[in-house]
Amino acid sequence: MAFQENENQKMIAQMIKDFGEKEIKPYMMEWDESQEFPVELFHKLGELGLMGVLVPQEYGGSGFGYHEYVTAIVELSKVDSSIGLSMAAHNSLCTGHILQFGNEEQKQKYLPKLASGEWIGAWGLTEPNTGSDAGNMRTVAEEDGDYYVLNGAKNFITHGKSGNVAVVIARTGNVGDSHGMTAFIVERGTPGFSGGRKENKLGMRASETAEMIFENCRVHKDQILGKVGEGFIQSMKILDGGRISIAALSLGIALGSYEAALQYSKEREQFNQPISKFQAIAFKLADMATKIEAAKLLIMQASELKNHGKPMTKESAMAKYYASEIAVEAANEAVQIFGGYGFTKDYPVEKFYRDVKLCTIGEGTSEIQKLVISRDLLK
């Protein structure tokens, strides 16, 4: 496959670069230190069309495909990966789930608010004691007339406290039954639905991660996405696209680390010459650039398949696995190139170094991606 950056991607990249310089860079370390989730910034991103990149124009979105979506995440993450993470979670998880599996009434009700950035979306699958073992979830939904009553808790949820609406997966059947879970749309303010503890994190500190708690939360059957029992199957399909999101997030961090290190290596002098003249530094940069290019091609391949509605579970897992691993490597090498300055908050690579580790554990560990890839290879 041949991939050429289209005009929409170029436009999005320049728009985010300009927006980032004005609206993100001056405040990002303040948000990082205080762990503030800058809700107003996401309203502004909505005005730019970045909160509904994949949503068709008929529902108030930008109507773009996955190549444009990846560009948006990469460019945001080069500036501040916390913002890239929240934008990706909003688009591919909550909004994406309603777009892919909602009925027309649900789409008309929720997508315009989500695509405009008026509402922030959350997505609840992970639980305190199950993690990746979603089949054993303990959040249950029991039928009661025209309603289901939800009880349980979700954790590690992006926008768990601040989200205006959440797609929540709850057990409606037996434990371990892949057809025993159902997806519900639950609005903030619904009695029995509340935000719990907010996590105090190593990195990605401006992206809110918190619990969602359900205590006799009554949700009308109109709020079911698809059919009862389809929640787990739907979630696995949503996570295919989610892997592309995390791969793009990783690529953005890798590029941000590389570009900062490249620039610094040309400016920093030792022994009367720029440190880029030393092979020890130049070879690090060569390795970083080569691996970043390989990650980019894997992501493009998965995105191309996704755009055409073709199976891409293996390809998205490969992209996520490789991009996240090389992002960690790139951030580490960038700190090495900066030397002692890389260990200070005066330069961006310190933050990339802290943020990037989430990419190898969030949305499924690298080991899980290898499991997904190997299952596809061996089936």
Looking at residue 46, what is its pLDDT?
A: 98
Q: What is the mean pLDDT of residues 171-181?
A: 89
Looking at residue 129, what is its pLDDT?
A: 78
Looking at residue 11, what is its pLDDT?
A: 97
Backbone angles phi, psi at 62, to 5 degrees: -85, -20
- Is the C-alpha dihedral spanning 74, 78, 83, 86 positive or negative? positive
Looking at residue 68, what is its pLDDT?
A: 97
Of the candidates 281, 335, 340, 312, the residue with the CA atom closest to the CA atom of residue 66: 312
Whether the per-residue pLDDT at 181 is higher than 70: the answer is: yes
pLDDT tens, 232-262?
999 999 998 999 999 999 999 999 999 999 9
pLDDT tens, 275-317?
999 999 999 999 999 999 999 999 999 999 999 999 999 999 9
* Widest distance between CA atoms in the chain: 79
> What stretches of 64-103 show up as alpha helix (H) in DSSP?
66-79, 81-89, 96-101
Looking at residue 132, what is its pLDDT?
A: 64
Banded pLDDT at 139 (limits 50, 70, 90): very high
Q: How far apart are CA 103 and CA 360, in angstroms?
A: 34
- Report the C-alpha dihedral over residues 179, 303, 327, 202, rounded to 10 degrees: -50
Banded pLDDT at 365 (limits 50, 70, 90): confident
Banded pLDDT at 346 (limits 50, 70, 90): very high
Number of Cβ within 10 Å of residue 222's Cβ equals 12
Whether the per-residue pLDDT at 96 is higher than 80: the answer is: yes
Residue 363 bears catalytic tag: yes
Whether the per-residue pLDDT at 63 is higher than 80: the answer is: yes
Q: What is the mean pLDDT of residues 349-366?
A: 88
Looking at residue 364, what is its pLDDT?
A: 61
Banded pLDDT at 379 (limits 50, 70, 90): confident
Q: Contact, 249 vs 81, CB < 8 A?
A: yes
pLDDT tens, 70-86?
999 999 999 999 999 99
Looking at residue 175, what is its pLDDT?
A: 85
Banded pLDDT at 2 (limits 50, 70, 90): low
Whether the per-residue pLDDT at 142 is higher than 70: the answer is: yes
Token output for 56:
């068709």
Q: What is the mean pLDDT of residues 341-363?
A: 92
pLDDT tens, 189-231?
999 999 999 999 999 999 999 999 999 999 999 999 999 999 9
Which of 5, 350, 363, 367 does the annotation list as catalytic? Answer: 363
Banded pLDDT at 55 (limits 50, 70, 90): very high
Looking at residue 224, what is its pLDDT?
A: 98
Helices 313-338 and 349-356: crossing angle in degrees, nearest 10, is 140
Whether the per-residue pLDDT at 361 is higher than 90: the answer is: no
Looking at residue 362, what is its pLDDT?
A: 62
Whether the per-residue pLDDT at 186 is higher than 70: the answer is: yes
Counting residues of the chain whose pLDDT is more than 70, the rounded percentage is 97
Looking at residue 86, what is its pLDDT?
A: 98
Whether the per-residue pLDDT at 87 is higher than 60: the answer is: yes
Banded pLDDT at 4 (limits 50, 70, 90): confident
Banded pLDDT at 62 (limits 50, 70, 90): very high
Looking at residue 143, what is its pLDDT?
A: 97
Whether the per-residue pLDDT at 367 is higher than 90: the answer is: no
Mean of per-residue pLDDT scores for the chain: 95
Q: How far apart are CA 328 and CA 253, in angstroms?
A: 9
Of the candidates 185, 178, 179, 171, the residue with the CA atom closest to the CA atom of residue 142: 171
